[in-house]
A and B are shown apart, each in its own frame.
Chain A
């Protein structure tokens, strides 16, 4: 397919989106990520029954926590797609990157760089 998607995305592979814990998302922000999106299988299609549903809840929890400390919760997003949907992955990756670019850099990273 040779699809293009923004090169500034770092992919972290997990066996199931249900493996992604709240602390993993928060640590990514703590270490300077500008945005985190969790990609899971389509709802109802999880091989482990409810992994993608748990991931969605954790994404919502991460959004709440970020909002409560003054960081935009929109920096965390959950997408559902099947593993054969390459074009959709490229589309989501582009869309998410554009939205994060519009929000600007992670304020934690900015403050850290300023202090250094």
Chain B
């Protein structure tokens, strides 16, 4: 899932200082799971914004809606009838949701309410870690299902660098060396011979190096 973190309320207040009719828009998907932008977080942020506005003596209307998703037009259409009541939207969805909402509603400013961080997994409640960078050419089949693109600081493809010490990365002693994990995993799977195979040069044009990307699937297009 896409992992996001909370934005400081002071920063959001600063964005919204010129607005008087504000919609706090949550998303029921990834940001709900990582407890940054779901219905509960929407209620908390809206309550804090209302109290701040009242305390400052401002008449500000702040309302809350949480959509199933903000990255699909069919769900964003659910606010089409009410969007004109607001002069600003704070979207607690990931960066995709913020942009897609803005694309659907051209005349309403849409502000981000969270910091979108990465694609990751829930290790435990309150701890999310990165697992994928969406490089567009998955090589997990040859690396024991551990990704050197997202988990190796140098994105190395043929074994660890000299900074790997006791299974840890040189950038931070708390970070596992991805290649140590890969070797351990291949050993456990009795597939260590795969480690000997050289990984050819990777085509990075499917990563961010090739600019904004898109997936076209004619087989499912209507």
Contacts and interface: CB of A to CB of B under 8 A. Distances in A.
B55 A26 contact: no
Contacts of B8: 68
Interface residues of A, number: 18
Among A27, A69, A70, A107, find the residue whose CB has the most chain B CB atoms closer than 10 A: A69
B111 to A, nearest CB: 17
Given A30-B47, A65-B9, A23 B55 contact: no
Interface string B176-208: 000000000000000000000000000000000
Contact of B51 (A21, A29, A114, A115): A29
A30 B57 contact: no
Given A30-B50, A65-B9, A68-B10, A22 B55 contact: no
Contacts of A22: 40, 44
Nearest to B58: A111
Interface string B43-64: 1100110111011110100000
Nearest to A29: B51
B55 A65 contact: no
B13 interface: yes
Nearest to B39: A23
Nearest to A22: B44
A69 B43 contact: no
A68 B49 CA distance: 10
Given A23-B40, A115-B59, A108 B54 contact: yes
Contacts of A69: 9, 13, 48, 51-52, 55
A115 B55 contact: no
A69 B16 CA distance: 13
A71 B8 CA distance: 16
